[in-house]
Structure 1
Amino acid sequence: MKIFIHGNPETAVIWDNLIQELNKQGIHDTITLSPPGFGAELPIGFRATRLAYIDWLMKKLEPFGGDAHLIGHDWGALHVYGMLDQRPDLIKTWSTDCAGILHPRYTWHAQALAWQTEGLGEELVFTSVQLSNDEQADVLQAGGMPPLEAHKIAPYVNHDMGECILNLYRSGAQPNMQLLGQRLTRADLPPGLVFVPENDPYAGTPDMCYEMAELLGVHYCIGLPSQGHWWMCDNVEKTAAALIKHWEKGESPA
């Protein structure tokens, strides 16, 4: 089973184009997981911290008996990294972006730092959830999200998502991600593939991503020189082909 998990501020629709391309190439055993508060209902009492999402993901993976291929984007990728830190036996392979966030020199981007700041983060979230769907879509597009996905996701940017954003980013403040990266470089991990969209402003520099991928021992990095943060929405043929090779052989083609 191929399991896709997205990040913030997103829903599973970001995977639609890639999954459709995989279907064309003969891959039909795909499912998407939406983290609580991000296109999925927020359970009562769910704390929405980094560790809470890792626990949630591990419980979702347990029924597959270690035979799942896990693909993560944005905070979905960070949830994958967190799961690998605790239960790498739960999956067969992993594929992610945002490897640069684990780099020892990485500092969070400006928006994340604002969310991590008491008072300022609450003000930004309150302002955001008051926007109309069209206004919200405009904000998402200004951050680089493609128009179609932005308009589909905009209605889900609500109070619950805002609260989850604050708790999640604050629980991921540095040095938490740096320490996670250090632990993973010493771990025995399943076969991994890292995508490096070189115009992604949120994941660290491409050099950081490539360096971390090497330290993590991934079988191969797929560079995407012309693509940004939402690389899975456009030009999906190369991405789909790389994933299929990875799943078939446990590694990606050089």
Structure 2
Amino acid sequence: MPAILIHGVPDTHRLWAGVRRHLARTDVEAWDLPGFGAPRPDGFGSTKEEYADWLIGRLEEVGEPVDLVGHDWGCILTARVASLRPDLVRTWAGGNGPISARYVWHPLAKIWQDPVEGDRFMAELTPDGFAADLIDGFEVPADVAEDMVRYVDTPMKDSILKLYRSAVRMGGEWEPGLARMTAPGLVFWGARDPACQVEFADELARAIRAEHVVKLDCNHWPVLQRPAEVAAALEAHWRHHPPPRNLKPDWDQMR
């Protein structure tokens, strides 16, 4: 029963490197979403529904329920998957990804959702400028921010725009489905996140009946800023829900 880690925007699987260094288990995989360091399938339109369907397809290939974890859009998409296909998810954990009709998209998301302003933003985007925004606005360490923006290529820019434009009313559309989630849940959140306010951690936890909410003293990226604490919370969550033992019959005693 592997653990599958899903990144958000504007990230790739590299987001999870720090957390993975602090995990004891070795059956951990971090996947790239299409357009985010991985090719997009032919005809893939990068909408929120297509990303959820893509994740479902990949999880079906695993062949057994997984420990599913997501951050930012990874949180939103994995929660959607867990609500649509609870049979694919053994446990769920996610953070800094609001799924609420009350949530108001942050200013940058609104720019991306605008066909004119969003296209202009991406056309004028420079690595140095984007890195500065991540450092100043979200307290991402400078070396990490500089590495992150290296992977913001043309496919990722296009994927971001299409994803956000499909998600103007995501909260109202997907919030009701959270009640169908059956996997034991953990919510972790950077408590000083200006884009995804910490009140939505509690709201998400109530919606999915999460067992624990872990609020960390950091900004939007606890996975980068508090990797040891995130790893500890995940491992405690998984220990509390050990996988079922594959018991084999003791033939000697049965003779």
TM-score, with structure 1 as normaliser: 0.88
Q: Deviations over 1:56-115 (max 9, x none)?
A: 11111112233311110111111102212321211111110135x222311101110111
- 5+ residue gaps in structure 2? 243-255
Counterpart mapping for 1:159-170 below 5 A? 159-170=154-165
Q: Distance in 2 between matches of 1:164 and 1:113?
A: 15
Q: CA deviation at 1:41?
A: 2.1
- 5+ residue gaps in structure 1? none
Aligned to 1:234: 225
- 8 Å Cα contact 1:92-1:190 kept in structure 2: yes
Root-mean-square deviation over aligned CA pairs: 1.7
Higher Rg of the two aligned structures: 2
Of residues 28-37 and 139-148 in structure 1, the stretch that sits farther from structure 2 once superposed is 139-148
Q: Distance in 2 between matches of 1:60 and 1:43?
A: 13
Q: Distance in 2 between matches of 1:120 and 1:193?
A: 36
Q: Quick one: which amino acid aligns to residue 141 of structure 1? A: I
Identity %: 33
Counterpart mapping for 1:161-200 below 5 A? 161-174=156-169, 176-185=170-179, 187-200=180-193
Q: Deviations over 1:2-26 (max 9, x none)?
A: 111101111222211110011xxx2
- 8 Å Cα contact 1:103-1:209 kept in structure 2: no
- 8 Å Cα contact 1:146-1:230 kept in structure 2: no
Query: Given the alignment, which residue of 54, 57, 63 partners 2:55?
Result: 57
Q: CA deviation at 1:160?
A: 1.0
Q: Distance in 1 between matches of 2:26 and 2:219?
A: 26
Q: How many residues align?
A: 240
Q: Deviations over 1:5-53 (max 9, x none)?
A: 101111222211110011xxx2111111010111222333211000110
- 8 Å Cα contact 1:14-1:149 kept in structure 2: no
Counterpart mapping for 1:23-42 below 5 A? 26-42=24-40
Q: CA deviation at 1:150?
A: 1.4
- Alignment of 1:201 with 2:194, yes or no, is yes
Query: Given the alignment, which residue of 80, 86, 100 partners 1:103?
Result: 100
Q: Deviations over 1:178-219 (max 9, x none)?
A: 23112213x14211100121111222x322321221221011
